[in-house]
């Protein structure tokens, strides 16, 4: 005879096992069993809040279903699409994109790339750079005036191979705005791979000159000693007259100066007025600086003073002419015809030279503006000078 007696502990164990099995079975089967009802509910409401709740439940149910092709169900596609739009710009949006891989999602990813949530933006960059149609969109936004610096920042935070490639394209394009190239340099400096690329570009003379100082300053702070030493060789930082190093250019740009003292330097010791006009005062050799404060950041002004040959404007390239008599005339080429060349010297004198008298004429890599001007007035004078230049802004039309 079978002994069918159980003690209370055995009965409890069996009951617990049965309950666990039922819960497990429900978890496996419930999404597919409830799907028809969920589809009906999701498509039959005029209440936006209720619609959002039902879409969320449906999407969660679909996520739990194995081997379910949601693309065969228009109602599911619509619910997922609505949920993607609701969560755009958030980590939840990125999670849904990765899970469902919807077609034509690139536009929404681009909007997330330039959104406020940096975590979502970096993940959006990862996805876009993996997509054939996503990479051109990233490049397009990167050179966009409104969004370029933001995209450069996100790519710098990402710091993978493709991000470094995109940023390094910008840092060697002189035609791109300074603010964008600066943002690209900062982005590259965030990762060791990017730091190596900056050093490589500087060594090969591919890095646009007006970002040398910020690149050198950032790389001098690298936690990799070998990279710091390599940067010191190819991107040396300017020094004061007594050979003591100046603070990095980004720190100098934050220093507060005296604009009145800067104006006196501009018109006097600094000799700026010998070549530049400000509101009718000065000589017309270099660019007119009457609105320079509206055109350049303080950092860009500092770079122009400390490294004048680094970012020579196209219309202000220096030429050196050797005449048949052995005379050397250097300055800006104002005009050139079949008969003569006109060179404007640093003294604002136009020299007309017959073509037949020219032995050679070469474009110089050196600016007409002299180097080491800051040695004349020191670090505080440099800050004061930039403070004054920052006040020179375009007049308000109102």
User: Which pLDDT does position 10 carry in this prediction?
Assistant: 53
pLDDT value, residue 378: 92
CATH number, domain containing residue 329? 2.30.30.100
CB 333 within 8 A of CB 319: yes
**Beta strands in the chain, from DSSP E residues, in sequence order:** 318-323, 328-336, 340-344, 350-354, 358-363
Tokens of 137: 């969109």
- What per-residue confidence (pLDDT) applies to 78? 87
pLDDT value, residue 28 = 41
Residues 343 and 375 placed together within one structural domain of the fold: no
Helix (H) or strand (E) holding 32: helix 8-42
Classify residue 178: in a domain, yes or no. Answer: yes
- Per the document, the length of the chain is 398
* Domain of residue 33, residue span: 27-234
Whether 42 and 173 map to the same domain: the answer is yes
Give the model's pLDDT for residue 45: 54
> What pLDDT score was predicted for residue 318?
82
Low-confidence stretches of the chain (pLDDT < 50) are: 1-6, 8, 11-34, 37-42
Same-domain check for residues 179 and 205? yes
Output the domain CATH number for residue 256: 1.10.760.10
Distances (CA, A) of 258 to 261, 262, 263, 301, 382: 5, 6, 9, 16, 10
Domain co-membership, 177 together with 286: no
Query: What's the domain count of the chain?
Result: 3
Verify that 308 and 323 share a domain, yes or no: no
Check if the beta carbon of residue 147 is closer than 8 Å to that of residue 180.
Answer: no
194 and 263, same domain (yes or no): no
Map residue 53 onto helix, strand or coil: helix
Same-domain status, 168 and 219? yes
Q: What's the rounded Cα separation, in Å, for the pair 315 and 328?
A: 21
Q: Are residues 152 and 226 in the same domain?
A: yes
The pLDDT of residue 326: 87
CA pair distance 151, 138, nearest whole angstrom:
8
Inside any domain, residue 7: no
Domain end, chosen from 203, 234, 265, is at 234
Q: Based on the domain organization, do 256 and 358 belong to the same domain?
A: no
331 DSSP β-pair partners? 319
Whether 2 is covered by a domain: the verdict is no
Q: Mark whether 181 and 203 lie in a shared domain.
A: yes
Give the per-residue pLDDT at 314: 57
Query: pTM to 2 decimals?
Result: 0.75
Measured distance CA(179)–CA(165) in Å, rounded? 18
DSSP-assigned letters across all residues of 87-124: HTTSHHHHHHHHHH--TT-HHHHHHHHTSS-HHHHHHH
Both 257 and 170 in one domain: the answer is no
d(CA 309, CA 209): 8
Looking at the structure, do residues 353 and 227 belong to the same domain, yes or no? no
> Is 187 in a helix, a strand, or coil?
helix
């Amino acid at each position: 005879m079978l002994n069918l007696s159980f003690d209370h502990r055995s009965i409890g164990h069996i009951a617990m096992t049965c309950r666990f099995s039922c819960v497990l079975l429900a978890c496996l089967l419930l999404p597919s069993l409830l799907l028809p009802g969920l589809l009906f509910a999701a498509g039959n409401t005029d209440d936006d809040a209720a619609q959002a709740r039902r879409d969320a439940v449906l999407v969660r149910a679909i996520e739990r279903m194995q081997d379910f092709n949601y693309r065969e169900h228009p109602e599911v596609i619509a619910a997922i699409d609505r949920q993607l739009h609701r969560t755009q710009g958030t980590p939840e949006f990125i999670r849904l994109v990765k899970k469902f891989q919807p077609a034509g999602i690139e536009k929404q990813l681009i909007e997330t790339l330039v959104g406020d949530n940096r975590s979502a933006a970096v993940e959006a960059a990862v996805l876009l750079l993996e997509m054939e149609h996503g990479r051109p969109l990233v490049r397009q936004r990167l050179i966009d005036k409104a969004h370029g610096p933001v995209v450069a920042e996100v790519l710098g935070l990402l710091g993978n191979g493709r991000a470094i490639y995109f940023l390094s394209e910008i840092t060697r394009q002189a035609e791109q705005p300074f603010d964008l190239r600066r943002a690209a340099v900062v982005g590259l400096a965030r990762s060791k791979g990017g730091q190596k690329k900056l050093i490589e570009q500087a060594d090969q003379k591919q890095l646009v000159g007006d970002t040398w100082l910020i690149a050198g300053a950032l790389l001098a702070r690298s936690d990799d000693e070998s990279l710091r030493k390599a940067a010191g060789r190819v991107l040396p930082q300017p020094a004061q007259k007594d050979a003591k190093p100046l603070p990095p250019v980004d720190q100098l740009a934050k220093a507060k100066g005296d604009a009145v003292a800067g104006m006196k330097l501009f018109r006097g010791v600094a000799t700026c007025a010998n070549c530049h006009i400000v509101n009718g005062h000065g000589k017309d050799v270099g660019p007119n600086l009457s609105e320079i404060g509206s055109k350049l950041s303080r950092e860009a002004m500092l770079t122009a003073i400390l490294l004048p040959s680094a970012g020579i404007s196209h219309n202000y390239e220096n030429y050196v002419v050797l005449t048949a008599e052995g005379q050397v005339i250097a300055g800006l080429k104002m005009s050139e015809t079949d008969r003569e060349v006109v060179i404007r010297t640093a003294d604002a004198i136009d020299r007309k030279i017959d073509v037949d008298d020219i032995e050679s004429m070469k474009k110089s890599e050196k600016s007409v503006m002299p180097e080491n001007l800051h040695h004349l007035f020191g670090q505080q004078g440099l800050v004061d000078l930039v403070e004054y230049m920052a006040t020179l802004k375009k007049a308000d039309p109102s």
